[in-house]
Structure 1
Amino acid sequence: MSLNARKPILISGAGICALLFAQTLRRASIPFIIFERDSSISFRAQGYRLRLSEEGLSAIESALGPEAWPKFWATCSKTGGTAGGFAAIDALTGEEVSGPLQNGVRINDREGRGQPLALISRDGKVVGIARGEMRKLFMEGCEPFVQWSHQVTSYELTPSGVRAVFADGSKSVEGEMLVGGEGISSKIAKQLSQGKIKVYDMGSRGIHGQAPTTAFKGLGEGVWRMMDDTNPDGKVYAMTNVRPNDMDDPNVMFGWTMSAQPGVIEPPNNDYTIVGVAAAKIAKELTKNWHPRIKPLFDQMNESEAAFWKITCSSPIGVPEWPNEPRVTLIGDAVHGMTPAGGNGANTAVRDSALLGRLLAEAGGYADGVTAAYEKEMKVYATEQVKASYGMASGSFGATIDENTPTV
């Protein structure tokens, strides 16, 4: 990439949607700088596996272009198997839950009020990729433009641009525009929206972990959702994507994600950043009565990799309105945090990246009206997905957002 004479686009955060957005700028030869609070890309665990919808895949394909897309597509898993790639299982009996399918989800197992995204996205398969793999692919070519250990806490407008302000009080070079893509804790989101963007803690906690692929042989290929409604404290769910390859290799790991209704999973001291044995112990206890077809996923887990996570969501009414600031805007979880239900969050975030990147590329860089046009379109589809995500989560987890729900 040859940097031109224009001031750079400043990007806060080096997560998935921020890096994909940077790729759109790189392809258009628009200069940019990424500021990331972590010290490196491997600073912390990258979370669970993502299922990509057709909308998400199309956004990524358009953002990466014909040069980088084939490598990304080759890295993705394409899972077929039972029920076109998706099936629900009773965790205690090991039997598949009967009932017709709608958009890849069994109607009598949906429970949520929102409408889920279709899990089957291309060629009759469920397409997935690990967050860590996705982030590394989106980082390729952007490395020289990332400034690590730089946490953006606010911004200040200048007569001809904007500067990011860091946690230590120092400031960035002047940029033409600032894009907040640093997730649900975004300080830029709070400043830009004047506090209107809020993310709520729904009270539910989850655990994600991994086990050797040989532990998954009882399930076989497919995307599986397991449910146990016999726990006296509330329902427990688990989800896993069993790809067709490597099933006989104990050195290859597959991941799983567990979630539950509020009060079922309680990290020690409510510290959901804990990684390791504490999380593994709870997962094993919750699944001790599960069917032998499923139980090996938890009995044989790599205990050191088990980690807690928090279920949060933006306001269920969707993305709020705020006065447009031409020089500053938001993408991804910074503007519309979602629950894991339906896989809406990441798919909506990459749509943001592709849309804003396309508008800037068409304008040749920053131009008046770009952020307004982006926000007008983004708020429509993102609000729809926040509502769907919240509806499914409140139905499944029994967690709701009201005036007493704490924010994060």
Structure 2
Amino acid sequence: MSIPTQKPILISGAGLGSLLLARSLLRASIPFLIFERDSSISFRAQGYRLRLSSEGLDAIESVLGPEAFQGFWDKCGKTGGSGVAVIDAKTGSELPAVAKDGNPDKAADERPKFQPEPLVSRGGKTVGISRGDMRKFFLSGCESFIHWSRRVTSYELTSSGVSAVFADGSRSVEGEMLVGGEGIYSKIARQLSQGKLKVYDTGARGIHGQAPTTAFKGLGEGVWRAVDDSNPNGKVFIITNVRSGDMDDPDVQFGWTMGAQPGVIKAPNDNDSMIGTPAADMAKALTAHWHPRLRPLFEEMDASEAAFWKITCSTPTGVPEWPNEPRVTVIGDAAHSMTPAGGIGANTAVRDSALLGRLLAEAGGYKNDVTATYEREMRVYASEAVKTSYGLARAQFGVSIDENSKTV
């Protein structure tokens, strides 16, 4: 008599959260399959550099284990300093943290109104890594379990499991459980939550760019935000992380992320997936009058790496509840989209992966109460993260959304 083979955990999407969950399942010897719409990991631009919080690093370490985490840690950049230094983009001078007379309330009128962000996560350093490097590291060991060019559009429950349904109408093998990790446009999230999970378009847009490290020498080591209040259509700012260890290597690029209030940055045809020259030219035009200390970031940028991005957010009141389906759940942006303010989204996504992976490992695979336990715990920290992300974005981008706002 043959022993029944354990059916795999099905994962939709091969983003950061999905791949870290896969690493957790791999370590626990739980079978899984990943279905990704892109044709390869290098199919499209990987986006801006990610700041890792203490919670994010703890989650990643719990999944990878001591030895693998050391390899990940070695790939991360570590920047000195305890917070963001704010620069007037036109004059190049640093703005004060408090007013000249020491009154912090008065300082709010002398500098842009940004809430403080706790950036230091380990060893007195701000820790960061590019999205592409992070994704490639998590992918290691999981390559043979990924099916590329397979876009999941829905799921079907069976008498003993669940199957993913693809865009061409075909179906996956039957799995024990399905995890939707395919981002803000997740069809799994929409079906599972019966429309309760919504992602709102804040109207704000941004541009990501990269330039050789030598272009950043005018700034020096630290986390910097340059702010320009002179644009007649609204405020423009950039944020960048300058690491001292790579400063003199012309073969290394640093990234910067530009944000603006709604209406300032307008991608052609509002196509937030557009990359290259259109995005680079717009960034250069918006910063043409900036101080020479900052101009090299744009004059020397690699135009091929420039990309527009759309700033979205889940319901600011928190992650909604929906009737639990034991065999289906969602992680990362599919469960809680966040603005880029504060760098909270990716850190919350890896917390999802660590939590769900631990619950599955402890259960030895699918069990009837795993998704309910995961969703109950996830809603607590993710709802707080969404609220914080939205609050920061209101200050930084001037956005405002409610239940009646446009969804993506």
TM-score tier after normalising by the smaller chain length: over 0.9
Structure 1 match to 2:113: 111
Aligned AA for 2:86? A
The residue correspondences of 1:371-386 to structure 2 (distance < 5 A) are 371-386=371-386
Which residue of the partner structure matches residue 304 of structure 1?
A: 304
Q: Which deviations, in whole Å up to 9, do the C-alpha atoms of 1:75-114 show, x marking residues without a partner?
A: 0000004xx253111111111111159xxxxx846736xx
Corresponding residue of 2:195: 195
Distance 1:100 1:19, change over 3 A: farther
* Inter-partner Cα distance in structure 2 for 1:221 and 1:328: 45
Output the CA distance in 2 between the equivalents of 1:161 and 1:80: 49
- Contact 2:84 / 2:117 at 8 angstroms: preserved in 1? no
Q: Which is further off, 256-265 or 267-276? A: 267-276
SS of corresponding position for 1:245: helix
Cα distance in 1, alignment partners of residues 322 and 112 from structure 2: 34
Per-residue CA deviations over 1:203-237 (Å, capped at 9, x if unaligned) read 01100011111100000111111111111110001
AA aligned to 1:312 is T
TM-score, length of structure 1 as denominator length: 0.94
1:152 aligns to what?
152
Letter aligned with residue 86 of structure 1: V
* Counterpart-to-counterpart distance in 1, 2:285 and 2:405: 28
| Cα distance in 1 between the residues matched to 2:13 and 2:98 | 42
Q: Deviations over 1:320-370 (max 9, x none)?
A: 010000000010000000000011100000000000000010111111111
Partners of 2:51 and 2:125 lie apart in 1 by 11
**Equivalent-residue separation in structure 2 for 1:301 and 1:392 (angstroms):** 28
SS in 1 for 2:246: coil
Which amino acid counterpart does residue 95 of structure 1 have in structure 2? S
Q: What are structure 1's unaligned runs of at least 5 residues?
A: 102-106
Q: Does 1:86 align with 2:84?
A: yes
Which residue number in structure 2 is paired with residue 294 of structure 1? Answer: 294
**SS across alignment from 1:262:** coil
Q: What CA deviation, in whole Å up to 9, does each residue of 1:269-305 have, x standing for no partner? A: 2222221111111111111111111111011111121
Matched, 1:140 2:140: yes
- CA deviation map 1:369-402 (0-9, x unaligned): 1111100000010000001111111122111113
The corresponding residue for 2:251 is: 251
1:302-328 superposed Cα distances (whole Å, 9 cap, x missing partner) = 112111000000111110010000000
Cα distance change of structure 1 residues 378 and 110 upon mapping to structure 2, 3 Å threshold: farther
Within-5 A mapping of 1:313-392: 313-392=313-392
Classify 1:186/1:117 alpha carbon distance in 2 versus 1 (closer, same or farther; 3 Å). farther
SS in 1 for 2:68: helix
CA contact (8 A) 1:163 1:172 kept: yes
In the alignment, what sits opposite 1:70? Answer: 70
| Structure 1 counterpart of 2:34 | 34
CA distance in 2, matches of 1:270, 1:29: 44
How far does the alpha carbon of each residue in 1:139-164 deviate from its partner, in whole angstroms, 9 at most, with x for none? Answer: 00000100001111000111111000
Q: Alpha-carbon deviation of 1:246?
A: 2.7
Cα gap change, 1:110 to 1:170, in 2 (>3 Å): farther
1:168 aligns with 2:156: no
One-letter code of the match for 2:61?
A: E
Matched to 1:92, the amino acid is K
Local SS of the residue matching 1:225: strand
What SS does the aligned partner of 1:399 have? coil
Q: Which runs of 5+ in 2 are unaligned?
A: 100-106
What percent of counterpart residues are identical? 71
- Quick check: 1:110–1:392 contact (8 Å CA) kept in 2? no
Report the CA distance between 1:247 and its aligned residue.
1.7
Residues 116 and 392 of structure 1 are in contact (CA less than 8 Å); yes or no, is this contact kept in structure 2?
A: no
Aligned to 2:127: 127
**What is the RMSD computed on CA atoms of the aligned residues?**
1.5
How far the C-alpha of 1:116 sits from its partner, in A, is: 6.3
Q: Who is 2:103 aligned against?
A: none
